[in-house]
Amino acid sequence: MTTVASGFLSFSPAIHPAKSRRPFLNRSASLPVVSASLTQIEADTTTIATTARSIYSSIVVSEKPIWSEFLHNVSLVADLDPGTAKLAIGILGPAFSAFGFLFIVRIVMSWYPKLPVDKFPYVLAYAPTEPILVQTRKVIPPLAGVDVTPVVWFGLVSFLSEILVGPQGLLVLVSQQQVS
């Protein structure tokens, strides 16, 4: 019997007769038997825990916490006066709706890759969204030949729309504040 060690796992091939559903196919197959050293697993777990603690302490103990900049940006939204928030809602609401619609059109257009995107009806959805999608395709390549970037952007636009100008959005809540 041959044992092959890989990292802290060792594999020993064991021969088990394979039971076939077809009676005329009766062959033997080799199935691996896996065993691991518990002391090695405990040592690796300790190393991982130590590394996680050092990363956590570097994040928490750092001079400027990571969340402070995010919270500062959120506090800027809270510092808006209600009139400015209503103006922002008036601009961002239709913009989010338009881009959401354009990304839905781009999702449907991606089903037909041979569309003439430089012709009239298609260029209305292609021109405003393609610069954004080109940059996103550098980060998220097509999966199995399917371009998923319009779906990603539709989700992002929908999320931002709900967070900022939705019924309980930040800008809506700010615009409903009473001026004292």
Contacts of 112 (CB under 8 A, 6+ apart): none
Number of domains in the chain: 2
Interval 57-90: pLDDT, tens:
555 444 556 566 666 666 666 678 888 999 999 9
Distance CA 113, CA 56 (A): 46
Shared-domain flag, residues 49 and 72 = no
Ranges assigned E (strand) in the chain: 4-6, 9-17, 28-36
Residue 159 pLDDT greater than 80, yes or no: yes
Shared-domain flag, residues 54 and 73 = no
Its pTM surpasses 0.75: no
Instruction: Tell me, yes or no, whether 180 lies in a domain.
Output: no
Shared-domain flag, residues 103 and 141 = yes
Distance CA 16, CA 175 (A): 72
Instruction: Tell me, yes or no, whether 128 lies in a domain.
Output: yes
Shared-domain flag, residues 112 and 165 = yes
Do residues 150 and 107 touch, judged by C-beta distance below 8 A? yes
Shared-domain flag, residues 99 and 171 = yes
Domain span at 146: 66-175
Shared-domain flag, residues 16 and 80 = no
Shared-domain flag, residues 115 and 137 = yes
Residue 169 pLDDT greater than 60, yes or no: yes
Residue 170, exposed/middle/buried by CB under 10 A (0-12, 13-18, 19+)? middle
